[in-house]
Structure 1
Amino acid sequence: MADTMQFDLVSPERRLASLQASAVQIPGTEGDMTAMPDHAATITTLRPGILRAETAQGASEYVVTGGFAEIGAEGITVLAEKAIPVDEMTKAHLDELVAGARAAHEQAEKANGDHNLVADAAKLLADMEALGDHMSL
């Protein structure tokens, strides 16, 4: 078994990480998971939360708002809708994310469409607010 795996984190704005990690904790929509070297091939969607990569230099943490994680033989690649290193996260960033989630929820409610869309928007808003509480922002 290998000790590390390649970990890449990319958002539309920039590449945030490309490093060797011993473990990556992923906030998945079906539940949190930890990927380690030689993990079974998996693709999962992300929910808003903290993604944490364990490296020889210590842990790197990132706030992600959604996206996908692909775990394979070569390592793990995360394509995030938005990603911000935790040490760069500010109250203004959080307020912007919560405002976007709130707007999406209001729009889904006004559309009187699919109940699942309204529920998904409500879940996104709740996740964003919980993220702020978790980070004490």
Structure 2
Amino acid sequence: MAEPYKFELVSPERLLVSESVESIVIPATEGEMTVMANHSPVMTTIKPGIVTVKTVSGKEDRYVVYGGFADILPDTCTLLAESATHIDTLDKADITARVERARADIGSAPDDHARTRAEEFLHHLSALGDAV
């Protein structure tokens, strides 16, 4: 059994998780990463995706996040999400609406950099929609 590790998942609306966990799988922008106790300190941005939390009791919970960042330390991990919800309460219409807004953002992008970022966000949202 892995060593217990303090994890918090926070969205602007509320604190979704605050407990000791065994591991967390985070959809970092550079690729998924698994975080456990004694992880090297790192801060990373989060892309739209699924956070999988394995508690010390062995239960797995999944949360959908739409971006943000994670602050990882050897004894704790805090994920500050732009928006987050438990997968059981996910409204698929919300993902569809976000995809449509992302498509509109591509069309109204003022420059190539903004267009590229909007296209990347749309790609992540589409992959998330396929995953859930």
* TM-score relative to the length of structure 2: 0.92
Q: Which amino acid letter does the alignment assign opposite residue 42 of structure 2?
A: T
**Map of 1:92 onto structure 2:** 93
Q: Which amino acid letter does the alignment assign opposite residue 19 of structure 1?
A: E
Question: Which ranges in structure 1 are unaligned for 5 or more consecutive residues?
Answer: none
**Map of 2:11 onto structure 1:** 11
Q: CA deviation at 1:57?
A: 4.7
d(CA) in 2 for partners of 1:106 and 1:3?
Answer: 48
**Map of 2:66 onto structure 1:** 65
**1:129 lines up with 2:126 in the alignment:** yes
Q: CA deviation at 1:32?
A: 0.8
d(CA) in 2 for partners of 1:100 and 1:22?
Answer: 36
Report SS of the residue matched to 2:88. helix
How many residues are paired up?
130
**1:119 lines up with 2:109 in the alignment:** no
Q: Which amino acid letter does the alignment assign opposite residue 21 of structure 2?
A: A
d(CA) in 1 for partners of 2:30 and 2:23?
Answer: 19
Report SS of the residue matched to 1:12. coil
CA contact (8 A) 2:37 2:75 kept: no
Q: Which amino acid letter does the alignment assign opposite residue 120 of structure 1?
A: R
d(CA) in 1 for partners of 2:85 and 2:122?
Answer: 18
**Map of 1:76 onto structure 2:** 77
**Map of 1:47 onto structure 2:** 47
d(CA) in 2 for partners of 1:121 and 1:27?
Answer: 18
Deviates more, 1:8-17 or 1:53-62: 53-62
**Runs in 1 of length 4+ with deviation above 3 angstroms?**
none
Instruction: Output the aligned Cα RMSD.
Output: 1.3
Aligned CA distance change for structure 1 residues 45 and 59 (closer, same or farther; 3 Å) = same
Higher strand share: 2
* TM-score relative to the length of structure 1: 0.89
Identity percentage of aligned residues: 40
d(CA) in 2 for partners of 1:119 and 1:126?
Answer: 11
d(CA) in 2 for partners of 1:82 and 1:97?
Answer: 12
Report SS of the residue matched to 1:22. strand
Q: Which amino acid letter does the alignment assign opposite residue 100 of structure 2?
A: A
